[in-house]
Amino acid sequence: MAKVGLAEHFTYKKLLRFVLPCVVMMIVTSVYTIVDGFFVSNYAGKNAFTALNLIYPLLMALGALGFMIGTGGSALVSFTIGEGKKEKANQIFTMLILTIVVVGAALSAVGFIFIRPIAHLLGATDAIVEDCVLYGRILLAANVFFMMQNSYQSFLVTAERATMGLMISVASGIMNIILDFVLVCLLDLGIGGAAVATAGSQFVGAAIPTVYFLRKNSSLLRFTKTRLDLQALARACSNGASEMMTNLSSSVVGMLYNWQLMRIAGEDGVAAYGVIMYVAFIFMALFFGYAVGTGPLIGYHYGAGNHGELKNLFRKSMVLTSIVAAVMTVLSELLAAPLSRVFVGYDPALCEITARGMAVFSLSFLISGYNVFGSAFFTGLNNGKISALISFMRTMVFQIAAIFVLPVILGLDGIWASVLVAEGLTLVITGAFMITKRKRYHYG
């Protein structure tokens, strides 16, 4: 099968072939946490499962730097390649990866030191705080690998090596599953074993692309001599601010969800939310994977001035998003009860809470894909401000307001419905920007 490059004219078939590795890669990456949750819940117990879900948003918040530099940097690097400046693109790429290593290590050290008081602040009780600290410290030790892995997902697409990225993610995922089975199921190491399994898979996901880009290769990117370029770094961070905001605010919102759930429903509420998030990770990975896959395409054709192809990518993306959103919503409603039984079937009351929450939460899939693509589309156009605003309103402002207001009216159902309300309000903003900016960027 012929390779599909950045400069192609994209039919539906070519577009799906190009983004499919990214979609599968995001799904496989999402499986890491889900596998941990399955083994911890079924073999270490409900308290350990609650501890994992309580501390995980913090780990995602610290790892958000990798998403920001990966998505924002890949947009800048692909734009630079589109301008015909390949050597400069490689210098920027190398500089950005080194930035992740240095800043990521500093963030990990701070988190490692303060993980216990943070766990208490998040609502950890005496019954689960030690599990929170153990799981958190092991993954903080591997946090730089997690950040690098996240950034490479985007850079491998820009390098026209999306299939390689997929294979690396699959290998990492398989390692995670095997280690979880051995360490948690066979050796009974509990939540600590699950953390080691995830850390090992993150190391694989970071090490293989690093070795590839260090060696001479036939892709569009490789590591080269570089220097600190503050202007390029600022531009990459600005481009990727929306992705940073998405991950950071999702983590903050996740912490608030857990706090509200502990107050309203106790440990069962946090455990139920964890299961719902696992399902959401898989379904939303379709949207996020598509966004990661199309980002370099948008950046390249914008940099090359190919307005007709921008219009083509935009229109096809709207059609594909609509189809996937409808299918995902129907599937998630049908699978709410069966998936709940997979994770917490040992506790009928918890299973019922989880299935009910998942059914309400899943209605948001009808809307969320448009907001995810809208934010990523403006990232690809190197308009980080609009992209960040969409993400900030979607994942922070509207959700926080809904989390505090809706439970007063609807009780526990209000928490599950918060994301649906937030996505609906954000869609108004996303649609307004897409309409008003279509002439400026020549995609309408």
pTM: 0.70
Q: What is the DSSP string of 255-321?
A: HHHHHHHHHHTTHHHHHHHHHHHHHHHHHHHHHHHHHHHHHHHHHHHHHHT-HHHHHHHHHHHHHHH
With a cut of 60, say whether residue 2 has pLDDT above it.
Answer: no
Nearest-angstrom CA–CA distance, 66 and 79: 19
Q: Residue 70 contacts by C-beta under 8 Å, 6 or more apart in sequence?
A: 150, 151, 152, 153, 154, 155, 240, 243
Sequence ranges of the domains in the chain: 12-441
102 burial type by CB count under 10 A (0-12 exposed, 13-18 middle, 19+ buried): exposed
Q: Residue 83 contacts by C-beta under 8 Å, 6 or more apart in sequence?
A: 303, 304
243 close to 71: Cβ distance less than 8 angstroms? yes
Residue with the bigger pLDDT between 251 and 289: it is 289
Q: What is the pLDDT of residue 292?
A: 80
Q: What is the pLDDT of residue 1?
A: 46
Residue with the bigger pLDDT between 250 and 381: it is 381
Nearest-angstrom CA–CA distance, 313 and 381: 12
What is the per-residue pLDDT across 124-159, written as a single tens digit (0 to 9) for each?
888 889 999 999 999 999 999 999 998 998 899 889
Arithmetic mean of pLDDT over the chain = 88
Q: What is the pLDDT of residue 127?
A: 84
CA 400 vs CA 60, 118, 196, 253, 421: distances in Å: 18, 20, 33, 6, 11
272 close to 336: Cβ distance less than 8 angstroms? no
What is the per-residue pLDDT across 364-387, written as a single tens digit (0 to 9) for each?
999 999 999 999 888 888 787 898
